[in-house]
Amino acid sequence: MIAAYVYHGHGGETLRLLHLMQLEGVKPNEITFTSVISACANVAALEQGNQVHASIIKNGYIFYDKLANALVDMYSKCGKLGYARQMFDKMPQRDVVSWTTILAAYGKQGHGKEVVKLFEQMQMAGIRPNHVTFLTVLSACSHAGLLEEGLHYFHSMSQDNHNGILPTAEHYACVVDLLGRAGCLVEAHDVISKIPFEPTADIWGSLLGASRIHNNIELGECAAGHLFELDPHNAGHYVVMANIYAAAGKWEGVAMVRKIMKDRGVKKVPGCSWIEVNKISHVFSTGDRSHPKSEEIYAVLETLGTEMKELGYVADTNFELHDVEQQHKEHALCHHSEKLAIAFGLITTPPGSPIRIIKNLRMCGDCHSATKFISKISGREVVVRDSNRFHSFEGGLCSCGDYW
């Protein structure tokens, strides 16, 4: 039952069931704990994860392989890289999953150099990387801008007799992303043209994303053309393409994309952010006013907005699709779910304590820049785990170095 709730993403219910199970006198075993820990990881419920970790130790299951791997993953997904590393270092045996988990932990925090170092150690320890490991390493290189290293590992995975792993669509998507982020858009397009199978939506998606970062309309249109065929109901692609046009002031392009979306009945995926305060997860969607503390939240954002502007913050309205007046755009931007969750964190957690947020989509550029200002004004560390990686904001800077 617990596994079923985990599978369907209902983390909170899992913990209630574990509690009920213990009340009924049924002793959880290592499999129960593994499920519960992965639920905590998915919703980044650190306090609850800590509690379950304590019961695991009490019950003597701490060195059960799968459970130890799940704990490394849980601490990593809660942004606690130090704890994840401690768990990893203490494991009596490390298999390919343990190594891949710790590589992913460093990768998501943007520590690409450490990933490369650990990956070399892993191979020296005689553990053969599998295709997931390569994917993790490539993605880490991409997020840290390690172009040469990434390309080297990409070529080594199939060429070395050692590994002999044929790159899948996911690996290609990663290497296109790696090249694209680094500004090598033409090379990225070249890689796509040489793929021995029909390129997937993810691969074109990487090229589209890179075209957005580097404002390349031509390659953006090329990628979008494929995506609108391959993945016609994914609103994300339309929004990115519209943003490319918007950034270049091509409003007729924006209107065209919006018309295709409307004709096909494509709806935008709502952005949602989560924050755990006193062991309760609070969810916010864009412009959400359903939370009991809404009034205070919006008041805090209002005050912050004024202070931010004094420090030089300018709303980056490129990220708001609607070509309405400037003022309205700024208004829509300041109510993105991550800003609401951060404001809630500011009013409900003790001064000076870190604020941890999860977002279901990629963090938008404006929220990213606003959060830098908020970390400076409030003197708080703000950690945001978006669909791609971790951003750790402190004193006006982000750990990703604005490269994400």
Q: Which residues bind Zn ion (CB under 5 A)?
A: 336, 364, 366-367, 391, 398, 400
Q: Residue 7 has which token pair? A: 């599978």
| Smallest distance, Zn ion to C-beta of residue 298, A | 15
| Smallest distance, Zn ion to C-beta of residue 181, A | 13
The residue among 164 and 401 lying less far from Zn ion, judged by its C-beta, is 401
| Smallest distance, Zn ion to C-beta of residue 400, A | 3
Whole-angstrom Cα distance, residue 359 to residue 386?
A: 5
Q: Residue 112 has which token pair? A: 């690409």
The residue among 73 and 320 lying less far from Zn ion, judged by its C-beta, is 320
Whole-angstrom Cα distance, residue 144 to residue 92?
A: 30
| Smallest distance, Zn ion to C-beta of residue 287, A | 11
**Residue 358 host element (H or E):** strand 355-359
The residue among 15 and 341 lying less far from Zn ion, judged by its C-beta, is 341
Distances (CA, A) of 351 to 18, 299, 345, 375, 397: 33, 18, 10, 12, 19
The residue among 355 and 400 lying less far from Zn ion, judged by its C-beta, is 400
Give a three-class secondary structure readout of 247-300.
Answer: HCCCHHHHHHHHHHHHHHCCCCCCCEEEEEECCEEEEEECCCCCCCCHHHHHHH
The residue among 45 and 367 lying less far from Zn ion, judged by its C-beta, is 367
The residue among 193 and 327 lying less far from Zn ion, judged by its C-beta, is 327
| Smallest distance, Zn ion to C-beta of residue 367, A | 3
Strand stretches in 79-124, DSSP E: none
| Smallest distance, Zn ion to C-beta of residue 47, A | 25
3-class DSSP state of 354: coil
Residues 396 and 375: beta-carbon distance below 8 Å: yes
